[in-house]
Structure 1
Amino acid sequence: MPSDRRQFLTTLGLATLATQVYLPTAQGERSPHTISKPSRLYKGDTIGLIAPAAIVTLEDITIAQALFADLGLKVKLGAHILDRYGYLAGKDIDRAQDINTMFTDKTVKAIIAMRGGWGCNRILPLLDYASIRAHPKIFIGYSDITSLLLAINARSRLITFHGPVATSTWNQFTLNYFQRLLFQGEAIKMQNLADGETRIEVITPGKARGKLIGGNLSVLSAMVGSPYLPSWNNSILFLEEISEDVYRVDRMLTQLKNAGILNQITGLIFGQCTNCSPGDEPNFTLKQILEQHLIPLKIPAWYGSMIGHIKDKFTVPVGAEVEIDAQSGTIQMLASATI
Structure 2
Amino acid sequence: MPPALSPGDAVALVAPASWCEAQWLAASVSTIEGWGFQARVGKRVEGRLGYLAGSDQDRAADLNDALRDPEIRAIVTLRGGCGSLRLLADIDTDALRADPKSIVGFSDITAMHKLWGHTGVPSVHGGHGGRHSDVVRRLLMHEPTEPVQADADQFGSELTTTGTATGPLVGGNLEMLARCVGILDRNLDGHILLLEINRSAGLGMVDRALTQLLLSGSLDGVRGVAVGALEGFEGYVDRGWTVLDVLRDRLGLLDVPILAGLPLGHLDDPVPLLLGVMSSLDADAGTLTAHVPTRTRWPA
TM-score > 0.5 by shorter chain: yes
- Structure 1 residue identity aligned to 2:233: C
1:241 has 2:173 as partner: no
CA distance in 1, matches of 2:248, 2:235: 15
- Structure 2 residue identity aligned to 1:239: L
Q: Alignment length, in residue pairs? A: 295
Instruction: Please say which structure displays the higher CA radius of gyration.
Output: 1
152, 170, 175: which one aligns with 1:218: 175
Check whether the contact 2:273–2:290 (CA below 8 A) recurs between aligned residues: no
SS of residue matched to 1:328: coil
Check whether the contact 2:117–2:170 (CA below 8 A) recurs between aligned residues: no
276, 279, 282: which one aligns with 1:319: 276
1:170 has 2:130 as partner: yes
Structure 2 equivalent of residue 293 of structure 1: 250
- Map 1:120-131 onto structure 2 (within 5 A): 120-131=84-95
SS of residue matched to 1:306: coil
In structure 2, runs of 5+ residues without a counterpart are none
- Structure 1 residue identity aligned to 2:196: E
> Cα 1:280–1:143, aligned 2, differ >3 Å: closer, same or farther?
same
Structure 1 equivalent of residue 61 of structure 2: 97
Structure 2 equivalent of residue 79 of structure 1: 43
45, 50, 65: which one aligns with 2:29: 65
The normalised TM-score by structure 2 is: 0.90
Q: What per-residue deviation string (whole Å, max 9, x for no partner) do you get for residues 293-339 of structure 1?
A: 22332210132111101123222212111111112221122342776
Check whether the contact 1:180–1:188 (CA below 8 A) recurs between aligned residues: no
Of 288-297 and 81-90, more deviation after overlay is shown by 288-297
SS of residue matched to 1:95: helix
Structure 2 equivalent of residue 30 of structure 1: none
Q: What per-residue deviation string (whole Å, max 9, x for no partner) do you get for residues 232-251 of structure 1?
A: 11110001011243332122
The normalised TM-score by structure 1 is: 0.81
Check whether the contact 2:203–2:238 (CA below 8 A) recurs between aligned residues: no
CA distance in 2, matches of 1:252, 1:107: 39
- Structure 1 residue identity aligned to 2:122: I
SS of residue matched to 1:140: strand
> Cα 1:321–1:187, aligned 2, differ >3 Å: closer, same or farther?
farther
Q: What is the percent sequence identity of the aligned residues?
A: 31
Structure 2 equivalent of residue 160 of structure 1: 123
RMSD: 2.1
SS of residue matched to 1:204: coil
> Cα 1:234–1:78, aligned 2, differ >3 Å: closer, same or farther?
same
1:282 has 2:255 as partner: no
Structure 2 equivalent of residue 12 of structure 1: none
